[in-house]
Amino acid sequence: MPYVTVKILEGRNDDQKKALVERVTAAVSETIDAPAERIHVIIEEMQKNHVGVAGKRYSDV
């Protein structure tokens, strides 16, 4: 029973998150031959002020 966690910055709409879950499920199913109904996809949204790159938070860019 695979569990996949995807961390993304906040701001995606429900249609984008739905498509992400569908495509990740399909990719995992095809890659490891797991039944789709057993694959769990967890989306963790991160606030832009909690993530930084190159010394700057995303909320400051």
The catalytic site residues sit at 2
Q: Distance between CA atoms of 33 and 41, rounded to whole angstroms?
A: 16
Helix H or strand E segment including 22:
helix 14-32
**Token pair 């938070």: residue:** 57
| The two structure tokens encoding residue 22 | 């569908």
